[in-house]
Amino acid sequence: MPKIIYIEHPDHGGKEHVIEAAVGQSVMEAAVQNGVPGIEAICGGSCACATCHLYVDPEWAQRTGAQSEMESSMLEIAMDVEPTSRLSCQIRMTSELDGLTVRLPKAQA
C-alpha cells in the first residue's frame, strides 16, 4: 500500500506520521482512520468545509491533480492558504503517490 507522510505544523511539534493508505482512499480518510492530529474533517469528506486543509509538498503538487472548482471555493474559507493548499478529502491515493508528503496547517478554518 502507498504511504503518506503527514508533517505536523512546527508550532505543534513538527512530528511526522507515516501512514499506509489503500489505493482509492482519500488522504483525509487515511489521516482520520489513523488519528493524525490536525485534520478535523467535519463534513466527512464531502468537500463542504475546509477542515481537512493541508499543504502538498511542491514536488508532489502536480501529481495530486488540479483543484476542482468546488475545492477552490472551499479553500477560500481556509486559513493560511498557500499555493500548494489542498483539501485532503479531494486527493485520492494511487500507487504513483507512494511517499506523498503533506504539511498540516497551524489551525483549520
Q: What is the pLDDT of residues 39-67, one digit of tens each?
A: 999 999 999 999 999 999 999 999 999 99
Which value, in Å, is the radius of gyration of the alpha carbons in the chain?
12
Whether the CB-CB separation of 1 and 74 falls below 8 Å is answered with: no
Helix (H) or strand (E) holding 70: helix 69-75
Domains of the chain: 3-103 (3.10.20.30)
Cell of 54: 493541508
Cα 46 from Cα 32, distance rounded (Å): 14
In whole angstroms, give the CA distance from residue 27 to residue 74.
17
pTM of the model: 0.95
**pLDDT number for residue 42:** 93
What are the φ and ψ backbone dihedral angles of 53, each rounded to 5 degrees? -60, 140
pLDDT higher than threshold 90 for residue 14: yes
pLDDT-above-90 percentage for the chain? 99
